[in-house]
Structure 1
Amino acid sequence: MPTPHSPHPHPNPPPALLATRAVRGSLWVVASSYWTIGFGFLANMLLMRLLSPDVYGEFALAMFFFSLFQVRSKIALNYAFAQQRAITGETVGTLFVLDVLAGWGGVLLAFSVAPLLRWLGYPAAVIEIMLVLTILSGIESLLGVFQIVLESDLHFKPISIINGIAMPLSYIPAFVCAFTDLKRYSILAQSTSFTLLSLIGIGLYALYTQRHLLRLRWRYQSTLAVAYLRFGMTSGLGQAIAGLTTQVDNMILGTIAGTVHLGYYDRAYRVAQWPALLLSAVLGRAAIFTYSQLRDDVIRLQRAVTRVLWGSLHLAVPVALAVMLSANELVPLLFGAQWEPAIPLLRVLILLAVIRPVWDNLSAWFIGSGEPQRVVALSAIQLLLLVLIGTPLTLMGGEFGMAIGAVIAAGCSLLIAYWQVRRQLVVDLRQVLGNPLLAALGTLLIFWLLDRLVGSGQPLWLAVGWKAGVAFGGFFCWAYVLQPALFRRQIGEVWRAIRGKGERDA
């Protein structure tokens, strides 16, 4: 991508400072994600006791259509902007014009297809929710340029703090709706409030700290726009298809079995994605921009990819084990007996919590290395597999069949992705993937023995507690025993980054 001439170039920080900023930014994203997802989980734990499964099914189906018709995510201007090194009136102005056109173009598209969806028999509530979400995306595009500039410079702290404040406040309207006759719009009220509050925060922050952007003379440049769109559409299309792979199952199941069955499936899927959501928040922001900055340094790039992969698995696997082992007690304890039909779905879908971080890391590497077309191809393969495998399994087994199909499609896609990069990205899979797998198997053995000794009959909270404790304690003990030197080194790297001493091998 061409870099426009500018008297005020976007500074390229030294490697040590870049590594420290990237890791610190990642830690802020992790902290914010843990807070927002953790608070969201607690709030939804209460909402699920107030709302019926069909409410969640309708919102999940609406989210699929919103993702399908939204334009902004399909041109990925943030990734395109990260590929150049200058902030000028031309780059900022072009970015702003393209983002706004994409945002409101999605609104026009959604309103155009709404009558067709109603004619096909989809519930009116699904269509209404989709339209509101697209309007919010259009409003968000008006301030998107400020957020993109911050992220491209690896400054994730301000956005993390703003989102962390907006999250708890956004649930106030949701509970108001849940306790009234507006239950069907409770989840939409939360999503709307969160978006508007975040935009207010970003707008105020931009006025006080990004005035240098406002002082620039914003101008649209067609040549630069073509360059942005060429790279961004390739990256965005891959990201959009990847997003559809996590939502097309909702469309298939909702169309075939209805929104009630989809509600059970959606909640099981979301619970199974707890660890993956946290890790994807990091990979989706920090990893892509970090890999982009390091793409010319092959050795440090491979080290960064390996570390992210190692850390992702050592966070995702124990959480997945804890959910799997305690599912029988966890679901009724947190959400109530009405959600027990989701338990068998959860035990299957939790496997995605381990597969997805590995896939997201490879996807971030493709984009950061300037090869977003690979993400498009691999995501399309996974989407095709999910449709071909998931549809007949859903017809035969309903939501349980779809759960099996989702895991099979994700696993096959991951194998294909690794086969393509096995020569370019030198990663010791035996060490990175094999040892967490052995640690998980060792943990399952410990659990099997303890379960025979302890037996059943404990209160729900006690059963969840000791099973989760075995999952975390057993996994990390086995992980240390299997890789003592590597385990200490990786923990040390994180600690040094927190203390601001930079990357060990910078």
Structure 2
Amino acid sequence: MERATSEEPLAYRAVRGGLWVALSAYWTLAFGFVANILLTRMLAPEAFGTFALAMFFAQLFRIQTKLRLGYAFGQHPETTGESLGTYAVLEGAAALGGLVLMGMMVPVLRALGYGEQVVMAALVLSFAAFVEGIASIAGTLLEKGLRFGATSLYQSLVFPLSYLPAFWLALHGGGVWSLVAQTTVYSFLLLGLLVIARQGMPHLWRARWGFRRDLALSFLRFGGAAGLWLMAGTLFAQLDNFLIGTFVGVTVLGYYDRAYRIAQWPALVFNAVLARTVFYTYARLQGDRERLEKMMTMITWAIGMIASPLALAILLTAREIVLLLYGERWLPSVVFLQILIAFFVVRPHLEHAGVLLNATGKPGRAAVLQWIQVGVLGIAGVPLTLQWGALGTCGAVGLALAIGWVLAWFFLRRDLQLDGLQALELWRMAVVLLTAILLVLLLSDLLEPFSLDAWASAVLKFVGVFICFYAVMLAIDPSTMRERMMYLWTWARKR
């Protein structure tokens, strides 16, 4: 009882931070969702294809994400002038180094035959990444202190403002530069986090900052391993863009990019809402095996309860979604969406496994997991793309995710000595999904004679998927369902 009482402040701070992050994430997701629908209707597929290819190169040569020093600083137990000064110097140098490297690669990209618009967009996006990197120093400091409210509120306010120049340029024929402008303006607006950090943590700004070589080496070792994981994640998310943009063309890449964005919706449940708070909470609980495992079980269950039915709903309403959101000219995206979303149902769980391995001091294992997926995508992606175009790329993505899913739970059981409960959660979810698919297909057959329009068909299928999913889940294991729902209800009331 003493341990639970002593941890209550941390629990409440984590919950409060999670609520702020959730509110901010859902607001930015909702606004970005609507804004991108409007931009998609205003811009041609070539604009999105060019932007996706340029973003691949900007991220490829970005040094900061390869080191991931923020993870190292976040996991370091003390926040002093020396640790903060050491982290700030390393982070700033890494941000600048990425911009310099991108500038050096400009003539190389031109020599390889990439268009001038792709090359210049990549250079501007690299400059935006440099600015964002400077702002991330303050963001990491605030989040390490569990001050998620300040960062979340500020990001919620400035995110809509970043779209103003994007819409203006789109209305005036700006093409790909509309998308580049949004990313660049948002990066500059994030510099305001420096002011928030200075006002919210004045004692750290008054402290004597220093640079310790031994601490820098420690940050580089840990951050480098974590950075390998995140770099692999970035490559995995964008290597398919490179394959399609290089071997097929930017127009097809534009269709694929819009489908990929929709397929990411289930993963955003974890990335946008849980990942920021879960890492720091796992890091603090890594010495308490019982509570760590209980939290892992709850997170796995929560991800499945939201991401799984959402993925199924998207799979069954892919045509209606593309038609209603983007318009008829984007219908070539439907086939890509149907293939990708079938594989992406496991992606939130892979992201969760990576965060868990990093937070418990095993960043190297997380990096190995991601790099194996990148290797599978790269090795299988080239011949499959050359043979079947973007459809072949979709197949390579699915193969990489399937192999990653198997390896993730093997690593967790071996390195963290899990009792198999997490795997049981996923297998239970798989059974529920298959049963729900059969029920929804039966529902679709019953609705077929009524010739419903796109809106009515999409709404009925979406609602039907969630009802069938939760009904089957309750029927399979009613006691667990009630227990966890009561736990969440009690948790919310205490807040």
> How much has 1:131 moved relative to structure 2?
1.4
Report the residue type matching 1:460 in the other structure: A
Match of 1:313 in 2: 304
Instruction: State the SS of the aligned residue for 1:143.
Output: helix
- 1:372-409 deviations in Å (ceiling 9; x for gaps): 00011111111110011121111111111111110111
1:19-38 equivalent positions in 2, closer than 5 A: 19-38=11-30
> How much has 1:444 moved relative to structure 2?
1.5
Match of 2:348 in 1: 357
> How much has 1:330 moved relative to structure 2?
1.5
Alignment check: 8 A CA contact 1:302 1:426 kept: no
> How much has 1:35 moved relative to structure 2?
1.4
The farther-off stretch of 144-153 and 368-377 is 144-153
Distance in 2 between residues matched to 1:100 and 1:29, nearest whole Å: 26
Alignment check: 8 A CA contact 1:33 1:278 kept: no
1:33-72 equivalent positions in 2, closer than 5 A: 33-72=25-64
Distance in 2 between residues matched to 1:261 and 1:112, nearest whole Å: 29
Match of 2:127 in 1: 135
2:371 matches 1:377: no
Report the residue type matching 2:143 in the other structure: E
Match of 1:441 in 2: 434
Alignment check: 8 A CA contact 1:280 1:360 kept: yes
Distance in 2 between residues matched to 1:104 and 1:145, nearest whole Å: 13
Distance in 2 between residues matched to 1:169 and 1:497, nearest whole Å: 35
- 1:332-383 deviations in Å (ceiling 9; x for gaps): 1110001100101101101343111111111111101101000111111111
Alignment check: 8 A CA contact 2:134 2:191 kept: no
Alignment check: 8 A CA contact 2:142 2:148 kept: yes
Distance in 2 between residues matched to 1:69 and 1:469, nearest whole Å: 43
2:215 matches 1:187: no
2:467 matches 1:473: yes
2:64 matches 1:86: no
> How much has 1:283 moved relative to structure 2?
4.3
Alignment check: 8 A CA contact 2:263 2:341 kept: yes
1:207-222 equivalent positions in 2, closer than 5 A: 207-222=198-213
The alpha-carbon distance between structure 1 residues 58 and 485, as it changes in their structure 2 partners (threshold 3 A), is same
Instruction: State the SS of the aligned residue for 1:370.
Output: coil
The farther-off stretch of 435-444 and 103-112 is 435-444
- 1:276-329 deviations in Å (ceiling 9; x for gaps): 123112343112111111111111111111111111111101111111111121
Q: Which runs of 4+ in 1 moved over 6 A?
A: none
Match of 2:324 in 1: 333
Q: Which runs of 5+ in 2 are unaligned?
A: none
> So what's the TM-score if we normalise by structure 2?
0.95
> How much has 1:495 moved relative to structure 2?
3.1
1:171-320 equivalent positions in 2, closer than 5 A: 171-200=163-192, 202-320=193-311
Report the residue type matching 1:381 in the other structure: I
2:390 matches 1:399: yes
| Larger helix proportion of the pair | 2
> So what's the TM-score if we normalise by structure 1?
0.93
Match of 1:409 in 2: 400
Alignment check: 8 A CA contact 1:30 1:278 kept: no
Q: Which runs of 5+ in 1 are unaligned?
A: 1-12, 502-506
Distance in 2 between residues matched to 1:198 and 1:495, nearest whole Å: 35
> How much has 1:144 moved relative to structure 2?
2.7
The alpha-carbon distance between structure 1 residues 420 and 87, as it changes in their structure 2 partners (threshold 3 A), is closer
Report the residue type matching 2:58 in the other structure: F
> How much has 1:429 moved relative to structure 2?
4.3
Report the residue type matching 1:380 in the other structure: W
Match of 2:409 in 1: 418
Instruction: State the SS of the aligned residue for 1:351.
Output: helix
The farther-off stretch of 130-139 and 426-435 is 426-435
1:9-20 equivalent positions in 2, closer than 5 A: 14-20=6-12
Instruction: State the SS of the aligned residue for 1:271.
Output: helix
2:424 matches 1:428: no
**How much is the aligned-residue C-alpha RMSD, in angstroms?**
1.6
Report the residue type matching 1:188 in the other structure: V
- 1:171-220 deviations in Å (ceiling 9; x for gaps): 111110111121221111111122222322x1332232222221111111
Report the residue type matching 1:449 in the other structure: L
Distance in 1 between residues matched to 2:122 and 2:275, nearest whole Å: 24
Instruction: State the SS of the aligned residue for 2:191.
Output: helix
Report the residue type matching 1:321 in the other structure: L
Instruction: State the SS of the aligned residue for 1:422.
Output: helix
Instruction: State the SS of the aligned residue for 1:150.
Output: helix
